[in-house]
Structure 1
Amino acid sequence: MRQFILPALFTVLAGSTAFAAPVLRAEVSVNHPVVTVGDMFEDAGLLAERALFRAPAPGTTGMVSLEAIRAAALKAGLTDYTQDGLLNVRVERRATVVDVATLTSLISGDLAVRGLLPAGAELHARFDNPALSYNAEAVDTPVTLVALRYQPGAAGFAARFQVAGMDLPVDVSGSLDMLVEVPHLAASLKAGAVLTSSDIEMKRVPLDFADQSGVESLDDLVGKQLRRNSRAGVMLKAADVTEPLAVRRNTQVTVLLRTGPMTLTVIGQSLGDAVSGQPVQVMNTVTRKILNGVATANGTVEITTAAAKLQVAGL
C-alpha cells in the first residue's frame, strides 16, 4: 500500500509543477527601460524581477524572436516554461508625448515663480523648431525644466529639458510673447455714450503694448463716458473715457441754494460741461446773472459762494 501512495504523490506533484510553469506572453507592454522575466512570462514566480533585455525606446515597439527569448531566459535561470507555439513576442514601451505645449507650460511656470510673468498674463512660446515632440516614459513627471535663460524685455530664450527615458538632455531655443487681456469696444458708439459691461469685450494683446498704451481695467471703464466717436474693436485706454457729464453746456439745469433748513431753487442755464463735483458756471434765467456752482450727480448745480447765494435769492 505504501509503495502505491508514493508514486501517486509524485504524479500529483509533477502535475502541479507543470501547471505552475511560466507562460510566455504574446504581447508585452512595459513602462521601464528593462524587460524582466515577470514582464515576459505569466506566473514567473521568484524570477519575476530578473532582467532579460533592454526595452525599446519610449513610444516604440519591437519584435523579439523565440531564440532571443530562450537565450535571455536561460541567463536569468529560467529553463522550464510554456511558449504555446509562439515564434515572436511583440514588446511595446509605453510613452507620454512631450510637445511644445508641455514645454511652454514648464517655461511659463518657471517665469511665474521668478516673478517675470505677471498675474493674468499668458505666455506664448515660438520655438525655433516648431515641430518639437518627444516620447517620454509614461511616468508622473515625463519632463523637467533643467535651466532657462531669459532676459526680461528681450524676446529670445534658451532652455534645457530632461525627458524621462532619454539619456541626454534636450536643448531648445526660441522667443517668448507675454499676452494680457485688455478691454476693447464691442460695437461702435458715439461720443457721450456711457459704457456698460456689454459694450466691452476682452482681447489679448502683447504685454509691452498694453503697458505703453496705459490700458485700464474693465472696472475702471464701466460707467465712464466716451470722449469721442469710437469704432468697434478699438482698444480702450484711459484717455478715451471720462466721468459721465452731470450737466451739459447750454442745457437747462436746476440751481440749488441750501441755507440752514431752507432750500431755494431757480432755473438756470449751464454755460459749460461738468462732471459730478466739478465747478461750472450757470446763468440765472431771471436775473441774467452768472453764478458759480458745483455740478451734482443728479444733474443739478449747487451754489457754493456767498455772493452767488445772494444772487439766487434775489437779494
Structure 2
Amino acid sequence: MRRVRSLALIAALVAGLAPAAAAEPAPRLRPHVSVAADIVRLGDFVEHAGRFADVALFRAPDLGHTGTVPAWQIVDAARRAGLADVAADSQAEVVVTRAARIIPLADMEEKVAGAVALSLGVTDTSRIRVAFEAGVRPIAVEPDARGTAIVVRLDHDARTGRFEIVLAVPGSDRSARAGGFVLTGHAHELIDVVVPARMINRGEVLKASDLTVERRARHETHGLTADTVMSLPQAAGLAARRPLPIDRPFRTADLMKPELVERNSAVLITFETPGMMLSLRGRALEAGAEGDVIQVQNLQTQRTLQAKVIGSGRVSIIRQARPVALVRSAPTP
C-alpha cells in the first residue's frame, strides 16, 4: 500500500511540473516586420503570439514601402486583444515593410524606348533617350506577380518628345485594378553628328583626331541639312573651306579638297604632246586643289595660261585649239 501511495505522489509531482516544462516562450516584440498582405496582424509584430496571431491590427504600407509603428501602440493593441505582457525591451518602434516585386526605372525606360522607337521607325532602341517626369517611381507589384511588363498604350509627340505610356504587369492584382501604370516624360531620337574637337581654320586639312562624333537629340540640333556631315570618313582628309567652330555640326559644302597650289606660289608647268613633254617655271595666280583648273603665269613669256592642278606645286597645261607658245622664240638673224 505504501508503495502505491509513493507512486501516486511521484505521478502527482510529475504532473505538476509538466505544464511548467511545456510552457510557451514569452511573447516578444519583433524589431522588423515584412508582410505580403494588406493587413499587419499581431503574429507579424509579436513572436509567440499563439492563438492571438491572426488578430488584425493595422493596414500595411503600400507595396514596396516601409513605415514605422510605435512600440507602445502595438503592446496596447495586444493587451486589448487579450495578449498581455508582451516584452518590448527598450524598443521605441517597429519597422514594417510591405514585400513587393520592384520594376526598376531602367527596365521602365527600356520599355518606353522600345515603344517609341517602334513608333518612329527606329531599329536601334539605344538611339532613344528617355527622361521621366519628376515623381515617377519604380513600379511595385505583388511578389508573386512575375509577368513581364507590357505596353498597353503609348501617346508620343515626335516634335516635342513628350509621351504618356501605360504599362501593365500580368498577374498583378494592383495592375489589373488600376488598369496599368501611367508614366509620363520625354523621349527623343538621338542622331550621330560630327563636330570639330577644336577650332579649325580655313584651309586646314582635317584629321580624324580633329573631329569627334557626338550623339545628340535630333530636336536639339538645329539647321541640319541633307549634306550635314554624319561620319568621320565624310570629312577626314578634306580641308576646311571656311573656319569651323568647335562643337558645331558642319556640312560637306564647308569642305574642299586640300589646296596643293597656293596663290602666288611657284609652280612647275608641264605640257605634254605625243612624243614630247615640256616643263617650265611659272607662278600660280590662284590657289587650287587637285583637279582644279586655275590660272598660272609663264614666267618666261609673261603669258597667262589655264592649267589643271596635278600635284603639290605642279600644274599641267590644258590643251587648246591653237598651239600655245610656251617658250619665247629667239629673234631671226
Q: In which range does the TM-score fall when normalised by the shorter chain?
A: 0.5 to 0.7
Superposed CA deviations along residues 158-202 of structure 1, whole A, max 9, x for unmatched, are: 211125553421223344333333222222232211111221233
Correspondence 1:133 to 2:137: yes
Q: From the superposition, tell whether residues 156 and 232 of structure 1 become closer, same or farther in structure 2 (CA, over 3 Å).
A: closer
Please, which of 292, 302, 308 is the counterpart of residue 306 of structure 2?
A: 292
Which letter maps to 1:109? Answer: G
Does the CA-based 8 Å contact 1:59-1:135 persist in structure 2?
no
- Report the 3-state secondary structure (helix = DSSP H, G, I; strand = E; otherwise coil) of the residue aligned with 2:115: helix
Count of matched residue positions in the alignment of Structure 1 and Structure 2: 301
In the TM superposition, what are the counterparts of 1:1-315 in structure 2 within 5 Å? 58=64, 60=66, 94-95=99-100, 96-99=102-105, 101-117=106-122, 121-125=127-131, 127=133, 130-137=134-141, 143-163=149-169, 166=175, 167-168=177-178, 169-208=180-219, 209=222, 211-212=224-225, 214-219=227-232, 220-260=234-274, 262-307=276-321, 310-312=324-326
Q: Unpaired runs of 5+ in structure 2?
A: 1-30, 39-58, 75-93
Which letter maps to 1:288? Answer: Q
Once residues 31 and 97 of structure 1 are traced to their aligned partners in structure 2, the CA distance between those partners, rounded to angstroms, is: 17
User: Could you tell me how far 1:30 is from its partner in structure 2?
Assistant: 8.4
User: Could you tell me how far 1:248 is from its partner in structure 2?
Assistant: 2.1
Superposed CA deviations along residues 192-231 of structure 1, whole A, max 9, x for unmatched, are: 1111122123334431426358521232121221223344
Q: Unpaired runs of 5+ in structure 1?
A: 1-25, 34-53, 66-88
User: Could you tell me how far 1:250 is from its partner in structure 2?
Assistant: 1.5
Percentage identity across aligned positions? 23
User: Could you tell me how far 1:117 is from its partner in structure 2?
Assistant: 3.8
**TM-score, normalisation: structure 1:** 0.64
**TM-score, normalisation: structure 2:** 0.61
The root-mean-square deviation of aligned C-alpha atoms, in Å, is: 5.5
Q: What is the match of residue 55 of structure 2?
A: none
Does the CA-based 8 Å contact 1:244-1:275 persist in structure 2?
yes
Which letter maps to 2:112? Answer: I
Q: From the superposition, tell whether residues 256 and 138 of structure 1 become closer, same or farther in structure 2 (CA, over 3 Å).
A: farther
Mean CA deviation greater in 114-123 or 54-63: 54-63
Q: Whose radius of gyration is greater, 1 or 2?
A: 2
Which letter maps to 1:268? Answer: G
Q: From the superposition, tell whether residues 133 and 259 of structure 1 become closer, same or farther in structure 2 (CA, over 3 Å).
A: same
User: Could you tell me how far 1:136 is from its partner in structure 2?
Assistant: 2.5
- Report the 3-state secondary structure (helix = DSSP H, G, I; strand = E; otherwise coil) of the residue aligned with 1:311: coil
Does the CA-based 8 Å contact 1:97-1:133 persist in structure 2?
no
Which letter maps to 2:153? Answer: A
Q: From the superposition, tell whether residues 232 and 273 of structure 1 become closer, same or farther in structure 2 (CA, over 3 Å).
A: same
Q: From the superposition, tell whether residues 32 and 106 of structure 1 become closer, same or farther in structure 2 (CA, over 3 Å).
A: farther
